[in-house]
Amino acid sequence: MKDKPFYYKELTYLIIGALIEVHKTLGPGFLESAYHEAVIKELQKRGLKVETERKIALQYKGEVIKKQRIDMVVENKVLIEIKAVSQLVRTHIKTVLAYLKASGLKIGILANFAKNKLEYRRLIV
């Protein structure tokens, strides 16, 4: 199996550090929307540009069939999907990979705040 390139190494480390800080401060137990807002504030505090609720076009045979919203994009390079669920499952991962493909972005971070320790996955297309 061929190794995938490590896109935006420093940026992803900054983002993961911000996610860890939010989890360390708030802990588990809140709704996704609370973590979403806290992550935005923490990323901005670190000087990063954050776009929220970006709409991406889903296409079928070259025609746009629906616009889908993604949680956030940092520095127009890294997609972040926030979850607060008991367990990340394959569907969550497939969703982020589909968002990456539809958006043209190469890297995404799926973060789950519902556990005692932040659970995250760095995904590349």
Q: What is the per-residue pLDDT for 4? A: 60
Q: What is the per-residue pLDDT for 1? A: 45
56-77, pLDDT tens digit by residue?
A: 999 899 899 999 999 999 999 9
Residues facing residue 54 across a β-bridge: 70
The answer on pLDDT for 99 being more than 90 is yes
Which numeric CATH code is attached to 9-124?
3.40.1350
Full DSSP string of the chain: -PPPP-TTHHHHHHHHHHHHHHHHHH-S-S-HHHHHHHHHHHHHHTT--EEEEEEEEEEETTEEEEEEEEEEEETTTEEEEEE--SS--HHHHHHHHHHHHHHT-SEEEEEE-SSSS-EEEEEE-
The percent of residues above 70 in pLDDT, for the chain, comes to 95
Q: What is the per-residue pLDDT for 44? A: 98
Q: What is the per-residue pLDDT for 5? A: 64
